[in-house]
Structure 1
Amino acid sequence: MPISARRGRWAAIGFAIACSPMVALGAYGLYADIQYAATLPPNTPRCGNSALAAVLLIFPVSPIVGLIGAGLGFISASVRNAVLSNGGPQELEENR
């Protein structure tokens, strides 16, 4: 009998895979904003929208995308367990 997939582990992996690109893009946005601010003369006013966009990408957007990835991981584990508990795909049974 094959080992069943742990739904929680697959959900955590799905969360990490889906969330990490958004966090990386937000971190790069903050880095680019800091690099831009370093090129300006002292006491020069600048717009903070790029930093705000990067922070919003990191905090509200990435967890939401991560929850979508966690749901996909949970569903994938459930489907895998259902297929394996029924004896596997029928194509494999016919070729034996």
Structure 2
Amino acid sequence: MRYPKSQKGNPHKLTIDQHIFPKACIARFIGENGTVQVRRKNGEQDLWLVPGSSYFCARRLWDQKAEAFFMKAIEDRYQEVARSIVTGAVNTLDAVMTAAVSDL
């Protein structure tokens, strides 16, 4: 698949490789070696990748402001709820938590 290119030097600081699933969520599954095991459906050999690997990214071109401000606020609220669940502090979501994890 061909992807549009940013202008030379990416002067508008567009986000190009965007994680499909938040890196913080992927990091929850790292092993002792700092990588996560990726089992591929096609039967090829498993991969062991760091959470920041481009394997977990899609190629996009969008404004960094949208990524850094609008999307970051949504992800931060989501991650706060996720951390509470992982640590065992929460086992039932209230209305605020439900809104945080289902924000579009």
Q: Identify the structure with bigger relative contact order (alpha carbons < 8 Å, sequence gap 6+).
A: 1
Q: Which structure: greater strand fraction?
A: 2
TM-score greater than 0.5 by the shorter chain: no
TM-score, structure 2 as length reference: 0.30
Q: Could you state the TM-score of these two structures normalised by the residue count of structure 1?
A: 0.32
Greater share of helix = 1
